[in-house]
Amino acid sequence: MPDKDTYDYVVVGAGSAGAVVAARLSEDPSTSVLLLEAGGAADADEVSIPAAFPTLFKTRWDWSYTTTEQKQLCSRRTYWPRMKALGGCSSMNAMIYIRGNRADYDTWRDQYGAEGWGYDDVLPYFKRAEGNTRLGGPYHGQDGPLHVEDRRYTHPLSEAWVESAVASGFKPTDDFNGAVQEGAGQYQVTCRKGRRCSVDRAYLQPAIARDNLTVRTGALVSRVVLEGGRAVGVAYLLGREERLAYVDREVVLSGGAVNSPQVLMLSGIGPATHLREVGVDVVHDLPGVGQNLHDHPAVPLVFHSRGTTDLAEHNNLVNFGRAKAMGSGPLVSNVGESGGFFRSREDLAAPDLQVHFAPTGFYDNGMHEPSTRKLTVAPTLVNVASRGQVRLRSTDPRWHPDIDPAYYDDQADLDAMLAGARRLLETVRTGPLARYVDRPFRPEQTAPSDGELVDHIRRETQTLYHPVGTCAMGSGEQAVVDPELRVRGVDGLRVADASVMPMVPRGNTNAPTIMIGERAADLLQGKGTR
Residues of this chain, 208-247, that bind ligand FAD according to CB under 6 A: 219-221
Q: Is the dihedral of CA 263, 269, 270, 275 positive or negative?
A: positive
When binding is defined by CB under 6 A, the residue of 36, 197, 231, 515 that contacts ligand FAD is 36
By CB under 6 A, residue 509 contacts ligand FAD: yes
296 lies in the site for ligand FAD, by CB under 6 A: no
The two beta strands, 241-253 and 230-238, are antiparallel
Binding status of residue 511 toward ligand FAD by CB under 6 A: yes
Per CB under 6 A, 340 contacts ligand FAD: no
Q: How far is CA 258 from CA 65, 161, 421, 504, in A?
A: 9, 35, 29, 15
Question: What's the distance, CA 61 to chain centroid?
Answer: 16
- Other CB atoms within a 10 A radius of the CB of residue 225 amount to 17
Strand partners, 37: 217
Active site residue 296: no
CB of 332 to ligand FAD, least distance (A): 14
With CB atoms as reference, the residue minimizing the distance to ligand FAD is: 15
Q: Which string of x and - marks every residue 378-417 that binds ligand FAD (by CB under 6 A)?
A: ----------------------------------------
Residue 12 lies near ligand FAD (rule: CB under 6 A): yes
Task: Return the number of the residue (207 or 414) whose C-beta is nearest ligand FAD.
Answer: 207
The Cα–Cα gap between 530 and 528 comes to 7
DSSP code at position 146: E
User: Which part of the chain contacts ligand FAD (CB under 6 A), choosing from 94-102, 176-184, 206-214, 307-315?
Assistant: 94-102
Measuring CA to CA, which residue among 526, 422, 425 is closest to residue 484?
526
Stretch that binds ligand FAD, among 87-95, 149-157, 299-307, 427-435 (CB under 6 A): 87-95
Count, residues in the chain: 530
Which residue in the set 39, 261, 366, 431 belongs to the binding site for ligand FAD (CB under 6 A)?
39
* 432 preceded by a cis bond (ω within 30 of 0): no
Minimum separation from the CB atom of position 265 to ligand FAD (A) = 12
Alpha carbon distance 471, 499 (integer Å): 5
End-to-end CA distance of the chain: give it in Å, rounded. Answer: 32
Q: Give the interface segment with ligand FAD, choosing from 21-29, 241-249, 382-390, 507-515 (CB under 6 A).
A: 507-515
Q: Report the 3 state secondary structure along 281-305.
A: CCCEECCCCCCCEECCEECCEEEEE
CB of 280 to ligand FAD, least distance (A): 15
Stretch that binds ligand FAD, among 16-24, 406-414, 425-433, 434-442 (CB under 6 A): 16-24
Strands (E), 382-452: 389-391, 402-404, 437-442
Q: Which residues partner with 9 through β-bridges?
A: 33, 250
CA 224 to centroid of chain Cα atoms: 24
Q: Exposed e or buried b for every residue in 492-523, given b needs 16+ CB within 10 A?
A: bbbbbbbbbbbbbbbbbbbbbbbbbbbbbbeb
Nearer to ligand FAD, 191 or 454 (CB): 191
Nearest residue (CB) to ligand FAD, 32 versus 509 = 509
- Looking at the DSSP bridge assignments, the partners of residue 185 are 339
Running DSSP on this structure, what letter comes out for residue 443? S
93 lines the binding site for ligand FAD (CB under 6 A): yes
In the complex, minimum distance from the CB of residue 523 to ligand FAD, in angstroms, rounded to a whole number: 16
Stretch that binds ligand FAD, among 82-90, 323-331, 378-386, 479-487 (CB under 6 A): 82-90
Binder of ligand FAD out of 283, 383, 513, 523 (CB under 6 A): 513
Rounded to the nearest whole angstrom, what is the least distance from the CB of residue 193 to ligand FAD in the complex?
18
For residues 514 and 496, the answer to whether their CB atoms sit within 8 Å is no
What are residue 288's phi and psi, to 5 degrees?
-80, -10
Instruction: Please identify which residue in 37, 295, 310, 352 interacts with ligand FAD, judged by CB under 6 A.
Output: 37
Q: Out of 10, 17, 25, 503, which residue is the one contacting ligand FAD (CB under 6 A)?
A: 17
Q: Does 259 bind ligand FAD (CB under 6 A)?
A: yes
Residue 84 or 391: which CB sits closer to ligand FAD? 84
| Among residues 7, 8, 10, 15, the one that binds ligand FAD under rule CB under 6 A | 15
Q: How far apart are CA 526 and CA 329, in angstroms?
A: 46
119: which residues sit within 8 A by CB, 6+ positions away? 102, 103, 104, 105, 106
| Choice from 127, 296, 466, 494 touching ligand FAD (CB under 6 A) | 466
Residue 339 and residue 202: Cα distance in Å, rounded?
Answer: 26
Query: Minimal distance in Å, beta carbon 252 to ligand FAD?
Result: 11
59's CB contacts (< 8 A; 6+ apart) are none
* 158 contributes a contact to ligand FAD by CB under 6 A: no
Instruction: State the Cα–Cα distance between residues 333 and 153, nearest whole angstrom.
Output: 6
Say which of 147, 296, 314, 466 is annotated catalytic: 466
CB-wise, 190 or 389, nearer to ligand FAD?
190
297 is an interface residue for ligand FAD by CB under 6 A: no
Among 10, 11, 94, 146, binds ligand FAD (CB under 6 A): 94
Q: Rule CB under 6 A: which residues touch ligand FAD?
A: 12-18, 36-39, 81-82, 84, 88-90, 92-96, 98, 219-221, 254-257, 259, 263, 465-466, 497-498, 508-511, 513
Q: Which residues are catalytic?
A: 466
